[in-house]
Structure 1
Amino acid sequence: MKTIYKFISLFCGIGGGTNGFLRSQGEWKGAVGRFEALVGIDADPMICRNYERITGSPAACMDLFSRQQYIDFHDQEPPVDWKEVTAADIRYVCGGEYPDVIFTSPPCKGFSGLLPEKSAKTKKYQALNQLTLRGIKLCLDAFEDDLPALFLLENVPRIKTRGKKLLDEIKALLHSYGYVTDDADHDCGEIGGLGQRRKRYLLIARQEQKCCSFVYKPEKKPLKTIGDIIGPLPMPDDPIAGPLHRLPRLQWKTWQRLALIRAGGDWRDLEKIDWHNLRITYEPRKGALGVADWNEPSGAVTGAAGYGRSNGTQAVADPRLPEREGRHPGVYQVVRFDEPAPCVTGTRFGSGALAVSDPRTGFAEGTHRSIYRVQSWEEVSGTVTGAIGPNNGAICINDPRLQHQAGRYSNKFQIHDWNEQAATITGTSDIQAGAPSIADPRLNCSPRSGTMGVQAWDEPGKTVIGSGDIHAGAAAVADPRIPEAHEKGVFVIIAEDGTWHRPLTTFELAALQGFDYLADGSIFTLEGGSDAKCREWIGNAVPPEAAEAIGNVMLAALMPSQEGVWVLGHTDIWVGPDDAEKEVEFAH
């Protein structure tokens, strides 16, 4: 019995779907079935390189545009060495083998709701959208004499509206080759048991002569929370997790905004806050300027430790004084005022010259005992005397009023209300001299839904998108773990809920997508891209756990189909007979 099923991935990305299929298993009559990847195909050489590192399977760098599609997308002729891919090229990169399954996840930018409708209708994005049809047609031509048992097309849900005509063409094409099709949305989080909700579209085509058994839907699994996924990970900026685990260096005002947004909210919360009654206070972390006890264990040694710093206990009460020849036993000695002094020597202080605990305050005869005294604004004053200075007994007062000197404007440090008229515009140049400030409620951008979204630690995350960033979506988390220390540019502001509202790192976004380790067992990382590019690759990937669940139900249909056996499943049918046949069958 055949137990190894071959598949290829078109527009393979960094290999999440492939990784998931490789983990899948099926069982039939004691035999265990699994998948083997023939090749992953993508136009980006760095994606192909990362695909190989992540999956351990070969990749082929191929641009699947037709010549006209290339021109429409790039607005220029292709290079001299560029050539249009043919069906023969697809067969060649498969090493002459025929796949049982073809998985295709074509570019979704043109179908995504993140792209304005006007842009989606341009020639550039229409050419990109055409890859959905072209990829499938190339494979049908390449393997026409031994068709794959299953075709899968994965994309964003909006493809059903923006790409309706293309989907109709694809289904008609597949039907002409003897496939029955079904398409529906599913939540990758539910079928993969992820820590995020991720709605996706999936078209599955089943070649009835090759796969007579129905493909059933995977079981739904409980969603994990963000904390379940990233809680066990090292804290951000810990080098053990690699370069993708670095916190973005944000502007101070952005950190403030994140701290003011409630967990589960976004930028719209900023319009509701009572900012007049809010302020940020500095709370030194435990151990700042601390001196450790000689007889007790030391605090943790941190990477930010250093002399002259206020970020940790880096001093010790050392009882030892180094002995050296010629040093007097009374070194640093402080003699009581009411006892005889030891011998007076000619050495300097620190080498034996003594010090005295002098009880006298140096007050001259008749001076007041309130010398240098600062009196509270709310208390009764001391006796008014004729002394003329604070060092002679004249009291000082902690006056909360700002005194207006001659020539100084009365609106010093004034902040105007957004809804009221401004004060007179003067020629002064700073807020201390009368130039007013304004409580401006505007953000200097047009935020989309979810911008600066702060996600709750104990709930599933929102979909990881290719443009994942706090300025483009919900890419921050209310982290209950408060860090010990951070380098410049990372500010730890404890929000009112007692958590640290901070951006998610690229590594944490990858973890929410199900990426943890590479094929060689090393921790997940990506090569050859900026942080923004890595986030795009991760956001575009298929979560491995979701792909594994899909792979399991495909194997459950493929294995009995070898013997022409139809197997009854316990979940809903994903791909059964076509719609007309279903109506007849279920009517009886």
Structure 2
Amino acid sequence: MLKRTLTHFHLCCGLGSGAAGFSDSKPVLGPVQAEWRCLGGVDVDPAGLRDFQMMTGVSGTLMDLFTREQYTAFHGQQPPAGWKEATAEDLRRAASNEDPDAVFISSPCKGASGLLSETMSQTPKYRALNELTLRCVWLMCEAWKYNPVSLIVFENVPRLATRGRYLLDQITKLLRHYGYAVAETTHDCGEIGGLAQSRKRFLLVARHVEKVPAFLYEPEKRSLRAVGDVLSRMPLAGDIDQAGPMHRVPALQWKTWIRLALVEAGKDWRSLSRFAIEDGHLRDFVIVPDYQYGVLGVVDWDDTAGVVAGASRPMNDKFSVADPRPTNKFEYTQFGVLPYDRHCGVVTGQRSPGQGTFSVADPRMTDERHNNMFRVVRNDQTAGTVTAGQGPSSGGQAVADPRQPSKGFGKYLVTDYSKPAGTVIAGSTTGQGAFAVADPAYKTWHPNASTQKLRITPWCESAKTVTGSQQVASGALSIADPRPGMSRSKGDAYLTGGHYGVVEYSAPAGAISASACHDNGRWSVADQRMPAHNDRLTCMITSLDGTWHRPFTTLELAALQSLFDPEDHWSADPQIAHEIERMQRVRKIEQAGVFRLDGINDGQHRERIGNAVPRAAARAMADVFGMTLLLSEAGETFILSNISVWVQPVAIALSLAQQEVGV
């Protein structure tokens, strides 16, 4: 194809998003393809100009476009020594002394913004800022009055059409004086660029009638995308290792986090009015912490469970459920016992009592049963069948014998103190005969040891000698402690080791051990502190709709403004993703494609991003600009298309003089 190079220049260029969008454009008409080349830009912000060079590859020029009077009115003081007003010659020099085919003007819009009150907008400071629009247009017209710029686009906030009406009327007259056809319109940059945001902007477009006889058509409109279409292709907010420092979650005031969590998705602060407030507090809500990693978490019956891990235990995630079903349902219950009038569940290959409801509460109590485990036969009844297993647990192998064991085999027998002992045999232990005696005479025959076994020392007495054997059974090593809180009851620290113990906020903690963890001691604290309403911190509060209501990160705002495409940085293609990861691993951040603006101040980054013209919208404008210039060079003044001429209605634009209506 034949190549045609078109040039563009930018006043109040900012970080260069609009310029980058123009350079992205490559319109085609028949066998001719046009390419846009950036001649540069001017701005008063040095950081923005460094971003401009990063975005376009072309150096910008630091230039203050105020007049001296405007500078004094805006800053409240005289300009510093050496300051001088910009001239038309300075503007040509900033464009490398070349004549651009298109000029993009995006002058400051704070004075006409709806965020500024009407009263403030009429102060000398903001009137001077608004007047910069007229000055930019005049400097541009004077700089290239001998070879006028073919197409001009002037971008600002929609309210400029009302607050700056007197300036727009002067701009229109000035442009017509220099031979331009002018049109004012309001466009949604989101629809022009196919963005995931709606961005209404004022656009004034001008076409030099003598140089460009062809009409300038509107960019094609597209459907707005969802925010998730862009954000889902980026790492999760806060992952600065993969996405860089611009992707950190902003630190907001605690009260702001609470408000964000309570705002309904898709609505704004006005939805907070639906809550009931009593004494300055929410009546119907409390804040409950979500334990880290969901430890001991219980999933609501109506919620979905999380990912089932290899170690799905209550201690490492939310692997418990609040089951509302009645407890008389025994299905899938370990050691479950079925009522006699119920049917059994599925009989599985593994059917022991510990694996399900494989036991039954049998009400039948007949004599013909086989439940002889540990059964004792009465002395006047017959014994059961003698089996090979003769233990008491094998059947009815025990008898209730009323006979006195004074004669015969006295296994473990204790001889009465008044009776003679049995025969002393070779095996004379207590388990082999009557070798124990009920001795009523208590003797302290080991006064220094045996009398102290398991002895409790009263609180008011002195302790005995501390010996080398420290067990409680080897001496008086226990004490009757009357102090409260030391009772040996279920759950105290002495019985349980303090597992899951919580220390009072006003009490000291115990000694810190090497294995200190919440489940092996008192390693939790009842912390009554809550952040102050103006404390700045980063939180993750689960909102009422189950999502995390959070602010956009600075990098996400840049993506929504189409300053960069996430696909170019975090590609789904495995080979590209692997290469990006490799380059990041060797710390070649720039080559790896992590988008980053100049400096480290998030507030300044966000201001420059918010002031930027969306890159995709600028490309759409450059497409129709390039098409118009190619048509004019080909001698065409009209194409049959369903796309509207930039001035409505089309029928009038075709029938009347171009200088008045058709642009």
Shared fold, TM over 0.5: yes
Task: Give the C-alpha shift of residue 580 in structure 1.
Answer: 8.8
Task: Give the C-alpha shift of residue 170 in structure 1.
Answer: 0.6
Q: Does 1:564 align with 2:571?
A: no
2:291 aligned residue (284, 289, 301): 284
Q: Please give the secondary structure, in 2, of the residue aligned with 1:3.
A: strand
Task: Give the C-alpha shift of residue 58 in structure 1.
Answer: 1.9
Considering only aligned residues, what root-mean-square deviation do their CA atoms show, in Å?
3.6
Q: Structure 2: which amino acid aligns with 1:52?
A: Q
Change (3 A) 1:13 1:218: same
User: Normalising to structure 2: TM-score of the pair?
Assistant: 0.58
Match of residue 546 from structure 1: 617
1:442-457 matched pairs, under 5 angstroms: none
1:254 aligned residue (256, 259, 267): 256
Say if 2:13 and 2:105, in contact at 8 Å, map to a contact too. yes
Change (3 A) 1:134 1:311: farther
Higher relative contact order (CA 8 A, sep 6+): 1
User: Structure 2 regions of 5+ residues with no counterpart?
Assistant: 277-281, 298-308, 319-470, 472-487, 492-527, 569-589
Q: Supply the distance in 2 between the matched residues of 1:212 and 1:578 (Cα, whole angstroms).
A: 16
Q: Supply the distance in 2 between the matched residues of 1:277 and 1:94 (Cα, whole angstroms).
A: 63
1:485-564 matched pairs, under 5 angstroms: 489-516=537-564, 522-528=593-599, 530-564=601-635
Say if 2:3 and 2:35, in contact at 8 Å, map to a contact too. no
Structure 1 residues 441-481: Cα deviation after superposition (integer angstroms, max 9, x where no partner)? xx99xxxxxxxxxxxxxxxxxxxxxxxxxxxxxxxxxxxxx
User: Structure 1 regions of 5+ residues with no counterpart?
Assistant: 291-295, 300-309, 314-353, 355-370, 375-431, 433-442, 445-487
Say if 1:72 and 1:123, in contact at 8 Å, map to a contact too. yes
Q: Please give the secondary structure, in 1, of the residue aligned with 2:10.
A: strand
Say if 1:153 and 1:203, in contact at 8 Å, map to a contact too. yes
Q: Supply the distance in 1 between the matched residues of 2:636 and 2:64 (Cα, whole angstroms).
A: 40
Match of residue 109 from structure 2: 108
Match of residue 366 from structure 1: none
Say if 1:181 and 1:204, in contact at 8 Å, map to a contact too. yes
Q: Structure 1: which amino acid aligns with 2:126?
A: Y
Match of residue 245 from structure 2: 243
Task: Give the C-alpha shift of residue 298 in structure 1.
Answer: 8.2
Q: Structure 2: which amino acid aligns with 1:547?
A: A
1:574 aligned residue (646, 659, 663): 646
Change (3 A) 1:267 1:150: same
Q: Does 1:193 align with 2:227?
A: no
Task: Give the C-alpha shift of residue 575 in structure 1.
Answer: 5.2
Identity over aligned pairs, percent: 43
Q: Supply the distance in 2 between the matched residues of 1:248 and 1:311 (Cα, whole angstroms).
A: 29
Q: Supply the distance in 1 between the matched residues of 2:650 and 2:195 (Cα, whole angstroms).
A: 31
Q: Supply the distance in 2 between the matched residues of 1:509 and 1:196 (Cα, whole angstroms).
A: 10
Task: Give the C-alpha shift of residue 494 in structure 1.
Answer: 1.1
Q: Supply the distance in 1 between the matched residues of 2:91 and 2:15 (Cα, whole angstroms).
A: 19
Task: Give the C-alpha shift of residue 175 in structure 1.
Answer: 0.5
Q: Structure 1: which amino acid aligns with 2:92?
A: R
Q: Supply the distance in 1 between the matched residues of 2:552 and 2:564 (Cα, whole angstroms).
A: 16
1:109-508 matched pairs, under 5 angstroms: 109-239=110-240, 240-274=242-276, 275-286=282-293, 288=295, 372=489, 489-508=537-556
Change (3 A) 1:39 1:268: same
Q: Please give the secondary structure, in 2, of the residue aligned with 1:103.
A: strand
Greater mean alpha carbon deviation, residues 193-202 or residues 502-511 = 502-511
Q: Structure 2: which amino acid aligns with 1:131?
A: L
Q: Please give the secondary structure, in 2, of the residue aligned with 1:9.
A: strand
1:36-75 matched pairs, under 5 angstroms: 36-75=37-76
Say if 1:214 and 1:576, in contact at 8 Å, map to a contact too. no
Task: Give the C-alpha shift of residue 254 in structure 1.
Answer: 2.5
Say if 2:41 and 2:94, in contact at 8 Å, map to a contact too. no
Greater mean alpha carbon deviation, residues 76-85 or residues 560-569 = 560-569
Q: Structure 1: which amino acid aligns with 2:626?
A: L
Q: Supply the distance in 1 between the matched residues of 2:167 and 2:560 (Cα, whole angstroms).
A: 31
Q: Supply the distance in 2 between the matched residues of 1:190 and 1:52 (Cα, whole angstroms).
A: 27
Q: Supply the distance in 2 between the matched residues of 1:298 and 1:558 (Cα, whole angstroms).
A: 66
Task: Give the C-alpha shift of residue 251 in structure 1.
Answer: 3.1
Q: Structure 1: which amino acid aligns with 2:247?
A: H
Moved beyond 6 Å, runs of 4+: 296-299, 310-313, 517-521, 576-581
Task: Give the C-alpha shift of residue 268 in structure 1.
Answer: 2.1
Q: Supply the distance in 2 between the matched residues of 1:140 and 1:521 (Cα, whole angstroms).
A: 42
Q: Structure 2: which amino acid aligns with 1:247?
A: V
Match of residue 411 from structure 1: none
Q: Which has the higher Rg, Structure 1 or Structure 2? A: 2
Say if 2:16 and 2:56, in contact at 8 Å, map to a contact too. yes
Say if 1:181 and 1:578, in contact at 8 Å, map to a contact too. no
Structure 1 residues 279-316: Cα deviation after superposition (integer angstroms, max 9, x where no partner)? 233333546499xxxxx9689xxxxxxxxxx9989xxx
Q: Structure 1: which amino acid aligns with 2:118?
A: E
Q: Supply the distance in 2 between the matched residues of 1:373 and 1:578 (Cα, whole angstroms).
A: 88
Q: Supply the distance in 1 between the matched residues of 2:634 and 2:559 (Cα, whole angstroms).
A: 40
Task: Give the C-alpha shift of residue 70 in structure 1.
Answer: 1.0
Task: Give the C-alpha shift of residue 566 in structure 1.
Answer: 1.6
Structure 1 residues 4-25: Cα deviation after superposition (integer angstroms, max 9, x where no partner)? 1111000001111111111111
Q: Supply the distance in 1 between the matched residues of 2:603 and 2:162 (Cα, whole angstroms).
A: 29
Q: Supply the distance in 2 between the matched residues of 1:579 and 1:138 (Cα, whole angstroms).
A: 35
Structure 1 residues 107-152: Cα deviation after superposition (integer angstroms, max 9, x where no partner)? 0001111111111111111111111111111111111111110011
Q: Supply the distance in 2 between the matched residues of 1:254 and 1:108 (Cα, whole angstroms).
A: 28
